[in-house]
Amino acid sequence: MSLFRINIMFFLLLFFFSAPSFSQEKTRSKKEINLLAKEASKCMKEGNFEKSLVKARIALHYAITIKDDNLIATIYNTIAANFDELAEFDKAFFYYNKGLFYARRTNNNELKNWLYNNLGNIYCFDKKQYVKGIVYYKKSLEHSKKTNDFSQIVFTKLNITWAYFDIGHFDAGYPYLEYINKHHQKYGDESTIVALNMLNGMYYGYKNDTKKANLFFQNAIKFGNAGDEKSDLSFSHQEYSKFLLKNGEFQKAYQNLALYNTITAQLNTEEKLKKINVAGINLEIDEYKREIDKIETKYKTKQELLLETQSKNKKISIIVISLLLLIIILFYILFQNTKLKQNNKLKDLQSKIQENIINASINGQELERKKIASFLHDNISALLSSAGLHLNVFTSQNQSPPQEILKTKAILVEAHDKVRDLSHELMPTLLARFGLFYALEDLCEKNSNSVIEFKYSSLVPTKTRYNEGFEMKIYFIISELLNNITKHSNAKNAKVTVQENNKSLQIHVYDNGKGFDTAHFHSLEGFGLNQIQARINNLKGSISIDSKQNHGTSIYIVVPVVEK
């Protein structure tokens, strides 16, 4: 015990009087920093991502010391672009936003244009949040107009067109496509010729102008095969396959789908090779962020840091000693009250363990739902579709196919529909693609029948999106409550009301059924209310139930919103 105390005192004294050693650091001129930033950008374009990231980090350090917002934003854009090239989209998104923060403090419209456009790409092509992506593209367009950069205007309008067409808003996207068709020859370049022809093919396919659509799709594929735009070429084959399938040309549709899969596999392999080539650098965002945070700390002189460290050490020493005394006092108090509180602690612990088990089980089920739904949709459904295409090609080539073939074809269609329905039941498409409020409205409509009517009311804009996991949990909680009403309440009318207030989601589920005695709330296992309570506790929310026999039931839920 004596030796332990001596060691503690030695540690405190050493900590108190220790001071970091400082080395003189030579600052760089703006010209030198700018040259280093250009070298980082050049390395990235040459595919040397490791070297580019290292140079960019060094350049960022010096740019922050001279407090040049324009240089800082430019270097963040380069760092983000490296991660973008490596398909590390979360990291790219983080650093593009960092760059935008500094760019907004400058008058550099060209830089703002790049950053808004890059963020729009991530929202549309990675996060599939097309509404947000289009907003960012339009902000990019505003800045390119300020610089009269017509090449960039054409490029950004092409992105906006693509985003609108991806979500089926062809009429909204057509004015942008019309502008590109008019000015591409003068201001466009070869890198966008494949995408432009593909978009024209998509538009004329939507207009049912088969001749023009075929011509544009074939041009897109021809230019894609002649150039280096493999990604655009793969999308061209995919969209052409959809068009051909729509028009009954099943063999060609299958061929183009196969080419799309082949090129996509090649691109995925290339992305993996890029990541292997930079295996020597730490690409974990938390590690890289710590390095950047160190760079972003306020630039201080040697003397300021020394004084600050000494002051900090004194404060820490006082805090450590105070904490030791406090721990001794608390230990004594806890020791005196242990016997009285032991039973309560055990009960609380058992309750917490039970709740954690329930939440772990529920989270596991939801994760498995998502995985199974994704596997069914992306693999089994795709295989069934391919088999169907083969049979369609066979039946189109044979005037009188055997009955076994026709029956097989019908069985495949039925199997495809059942797999699709099961996938949607496990993970509703509306929830994944359009969000919680679209899915809840659809849920109420699907549960309504001649016996009971579910009404839905929401004061939150339907397009509002939250964290994906949060939306999934809320959806299945409400789904379970609606199932309870249908099975147990004998109600004829029910209503779901949702509103957001002070960053909390307020949900009210009401029915005019037979109700129940809330005094036996915890014993109503058939209703699954304990599991619902555990889910809501896990979300740090609250639930209250107001019910009387023969007077219906009102359930109020308040849950803090989890943003994206």
DSSP secondary structure string for all residues of 403-455:
HHHHHHHHHHHHHHHHHHHHHHHHS-HHHHHH-HHHHHHHHHHHH--SS-EEE
**What is the reported pLDDT for 149?**
87
Q: Record the tokens describing residue 139, joined without a space.
A: 């902000």
* pLDDT, tens digit, 9 for 90 and up, residues 406-433: 677 677 666 655 655 565 555 566 677 7
Alpha helices in 192-301 (DSSP H): 193-206, 210-226, 230-246, 250-277, 285-296
* Residue matched to tokens 């029948």: 449
Give CA–CA dist 49/55, Å, rounded: 10
Model confidence at 256: pLDDT above 80 = yes
Most confident of the following: 7-11, 82-86, 385-389, 398-402 = 82-86
The number of beta carbons lying within 10 Å of the beta carbon of residue 525 is: 9
* pLDDT, tens digit, 9 for 90 and up, residues 368-388: 655 565 555 555 655 666 666
* pLDDT, tens digit, 9 for 90 and up, residues 73-83: 999 999 989 88
Confidence of residue 11 (pLDDT cuts 50, 70, 90): very low
**What is the reported pLDDT for 294?**
64
- Distance from chain centroid for Cα 317: 44
The number of beta carbons lying within 10 Å of the beta carbon of residue 403 is: 8
Identity (one letter) of the amino acid at 262? T
Confidence of residue 526 (pLDDT cuts 50, 70, 90): very low
**Of residues 419 and 218, which shows the higher confidence score?**
218
Give CA–CA dist 49/230, Å, rounded: 20
Identity (one letter) of the amino acid at 370? K
* pLDDT, tens digit, 9 for 90 and up, residues 312-344: 788 888 888 888 888 888 887 887 777 677 766
Model confidence at 560: pLDDT above 90 = yes
Confidence of residue 359 (pLDDT cuts 50, 70, 90): low
